[in-house]
Structure 1
Amino acid sequence: MNAKSWAIDIDRDDITQTELVADAGVALTPGQIRVDLDSYAMTANNITYAVFGKPAGLFGNDQGYWDFFSEPGTPGRLPVWGFATVTESTADGISVGDRFYGYYPMASGAVLTVGKAGPGGFTDVTPRRTTLPPIYNNYQRIEALADYRAADHDYWPVFRPLFLTGWLIADQFEDEGDYGVQQILIASASSKTAIGLGFTLAQRADRPETIGLTSAANVDALSAQGIYDRVISYDQIMTLNASTPAALVDMAGNGAVTRVVHSHFGNQLQASIIVGKSHWDAQADGEGLPGPDRQGFFAPGRSQKRIADWGGAAFGQKIAAAWLAFMDVAPRIASIDRREGGDAALAAYKEMLSGQADPKVGIVIAP
């Protein structure tokens, strides 16, 4: 499809069922803006959004990720992170040509309802979104991003939300005294969230050893990046010292890997944290595991806690400093693969869903 305005519909009950559709524009009501997406990223994180599209308890019992951009009873619209330009505005404080970084649907454009517009950006106050986490509803003017550098533009949608999640996990470990462990096992270590976690932990002088777990084919390349103290394949987990207190951070929700780690370490496993579900079709296999109960990590909740602890300005300053340090090494970790148009967008989603996407590549879609 070469239609100028397009969107991708996803079956809420079967995320493999998709359709590229023409997206008919609707008339704006007062306080709304229309934006054209300039670019967005397609990552494994987006597959987690699709898996939790229906209510899963993250936002309460009656909301899921589909609720950001699609009404109940309609096909799901997958949330993505990216940049967009305002093409029409009926909102005070927002002009045509303004550009914002934020959360958008997987489409060529979107209509947003503006609240609290100011020099830094605005909050979307579409009724179905007002009870959802603020971090997803804030749109930031590019000019107001203190840590934005033009050279890093394509890395923002690819890495920024995932790096932030990794940074927040590392912050939780430090806050919890590293759960008393001497080694942190990070499953799906080639994922961008895992790399953000490993990079952030590496900045600490006094910390547990970090061990990246990945497929055998990825070990050498991932080791060469120098993000983790060690990188081993999944079939080498049993060679780790089971008497050394450990923690597991599971980025993909692969139950087979989780069971091996829990069974090997038993009561020496002090924490088991699940972050994502990019291995959406893998058996969860979480029943009757030895060791600790698995705990979910929800980045928006952790963000809100730290904003309350430190204040918004201090939180932003800490993130900015960490992000700029990471951007100095990101280009050697992943290259950017820019693709254009709706057909390319649909193909990129299917590629990511299949689990065949190259972790050393950041896919950016220019609608």
Structure 2
Amino acid sequence: MNRWAIDIDRAAIDRAALVDDPETPLAAGEIEVAPVLIAITANNVTYAALGEPMGLLGSDGGYWDFFGPRDAPGRLPVWGFARVTRSAHPGFSQGDEFYGYYALASHTRLLPERVGAHGFVDASPHRAHLPALYNHYQAVSGLADYDAADRDLWPIFRPLYLTGWLIADQLDDERDHGAASVIVTSASSKTACGFAHAFREREARPELVGLTSPASAAFVGGTGLYDRVVTYDAIETLDAGTPSALIDIAGDAGVAKRIHAHWGEALKLSMVVGATHWEARAGFGGQGRTGFFAPARMAKRSAEWGGRVLNERVGAAWRRFMADARALSAIETREGADAALAAYAEVVAGRADPRVGTVIALGHRPGLTAPAPSA
């Protein structure tokens, strides 16, 4: 199957199938890219679980909207590297490589605008109402903090570390809401590890508590990122009188209810970041719960510091994280569309090993450098 996509049932995200995705002509100004190295992590489960419009991506946007119409099966967004295979835009040639946000498919069509040495913005009309952060594509040749030796770590950690860094920055900016303890659910997840790494760089900070399953407790403890590691069945052993903040990456309604009930008014912040426990997320919005949204935080800091300063700070922190990242995750490289489907099934079912980061290497079929645009 040279051209393929993975279709996901929007109403039951554990149902997915590999399908043919035939080639169609490009319109004037469009390019087609083929992902060559992508990651599939618990973060992708969050994208699927929050695929429908829920207010997170604006008043009328969901993660499914990036790569498909609403009357079609869902196309999962993934992060990674892709190369141009066809171009109807004068500024692009076959083989040009970019880091960014793509569909879980053999090919993704984009409409570049604001093209420069560092990349471009996808101006496809169906993405105009979606957050700009996801629409930026960075030329690999222009990435100031890219090291080819870390190439396999980028799809896995770059977007998740950025999210974690922004959460840590927000807590610091907001003086931790007066908390003496910060509690992180799904502490084995890549996002949680990125957050913990950034959070621990502070000279003065609250205690950091990682909540995880008994099966993952040894791994989480071995990362050295948390001051304490506690399993979900032992939540009530923690001191309910300690002013605390919850960073909820799991999105498990049952766990969140227990935390709220145990701490009561001593819970100073309850921030929902993800939905890695997607099957248990329903039924708890909860008074006092607040959502974290990385693009909004990026926009705030960009306005306050300027884009250059923000990029410099993130880049410096990223390089420090890269020095430790390989100790946090073994990299497993799989190849091909069937491997991508299997990896997605594993993360949705919660069977993925937290000690492993899975990247999918994909081949691509060469196309025409400059096909005639469709009429």
Asked whether the 8 Å contact 2:219–2:355 carries over to 1, the reply is no
TM-fit CA distance, 1:220? 2.2
Q: Could you tell which deviates more after superposition, 196-205 or 276-285? A: 276-285
Residue 354 of structure 1: which of 319, 342, 349 is its match?
A: 349
Q: Are 1:293 and 2:293 matched, yes or no?
A: no
Which structure 2 residues correspond to residues 192-211 of structure 1 after superposition, within 5 A?
192-211=190-209
Secondary structure of residue in 2 paired with 1:40 = strand
TM-fit CA distance, 1:61? 3.2
Q: Measure the CA separation in 2 of the matches of 1:235 and 1:173.
A: 27
Which AA in structure 2 matches 1:216?
P
Q: Are 1:318 and 2:313 matched, yes or no?
A: yes
TM-fit CA distance, 1:182? 0.5
Unaligned runs of 5+ in 1: none
Q: Are 1:304 and 2:299 matched, yes or no?
A: yes
Name the counterpart of 2:127. Answer: 129
Q: Measure the CA separation in 1 of the matches of 2:290 and 2:10.
A: 25
Q: Could you tell which deviates more after superposition, 321-330 or 69-78? A: 69-78
Asked whether the 8 Å contact 1:70–1:76 carries over to 2, the reply is yes
Q: Measure the CA separation in 2 of the matches of 1:203 and 1:280.
A: 30
Secondary structure of residue in 2 paired with 1:328 = helix
Q: Measure the CA separation in 2 of the matches of 1:345 and 1:9.
A: 12
Q: Could you tell which deviates more after superposition, 232-241 or 356-365? A: 232-241
Name the counterpart of 1:113. Answer: 111
TM-fit CA distance, 1:283? 4.7
Which AA in structure 1 matches 2:307?
G
TM-fit CA distance, 1:72? 2.6
The ranges of structure 1 where at least 4 consecutive aligned residues each deviate by more than 6 angstroms after the TM superposition are: none
Asked whether the 8 Å contact 2:110–2:124 carries over to 1, the reply is yes
Residue 241 of structure 1: which of 226, 239, 242 is its match?
A: 239
Q: Measure the CA separation in 2 of the matches of 1:237 and 1:18.
A: 35
Secondary structure of residue in 2 paired with 1:87 = strand
Q: Measure the CA separation in 2 of the matches of 1:251 and 1:22.
A: 34
Q: Between the two structures, name the one with larger relative contact order (CA 8 Å, sep ≥ 6).
A: 2
Q: Are 1:256 and 2:254 matched, yes or no?
A: yes
TM-score, length-normalised on structure 2? 0.94
Which AA in structure 1 matches 2:326?
P
Unaligned runs of 5+ in 2: 363-375
TM-score, length-normalised on structure 1? 0.96
Q: Measure the CA separation in 2 of the matches of 1:283 and 1:331.
A: 31
Name the counterpart of 2:84. Answer: 86
Deviations 1:64-113 (A, max 9, x none): 11111102311111100010011221213222221000000001111111
Q: CA RMSD in A?
A: 1.2
Deviations 1:240-294 (A, max 9, x none): 121111011110111121122111111111000110011111154426x6xx611
Residue 337 of structure 1: which of 332, 337, 340 is its match?
A: 332
Secondary structure of residue in 2 paired with 1:281 = helix
Deviations 1:179-237 (A, max 9, x none): 01110000110011111111111100111010101112222221121111111111222
Q: Are 1:214 and 2:212 matched, yes or no?
A: yes
Which AA in structure 1 matches 2:311?
G
Secondary structure of residue in 2 paired with 1:329 = helix
Name the counterpart of 1:272. Answer: 270
Q: Could you tell which deviates more after superposition, 7-16 or 204-213? A: 7-16
Which AA in structure 1 matches 2:216?
N
TM-fit CA distance, 1:62? 2.5
Deviations 1:11-48 (A, max 9, x none): 22221222211111111111111111111100111111
Q: Could you tell which deviates more after superposition, 183-192 or 20-29? A: 20-29
Q: Measure the CA separation in 2 of the matches of 1:229 and 1:327.
A: 21
Which structure 2 residues correspond to residues 1-20 of structure 1 after superposition, within 5 A?
3-20=1-18
Which AA in structure 2 matches 1:142?
V
Percent of residue pairs bearing the same amino acid type: 51
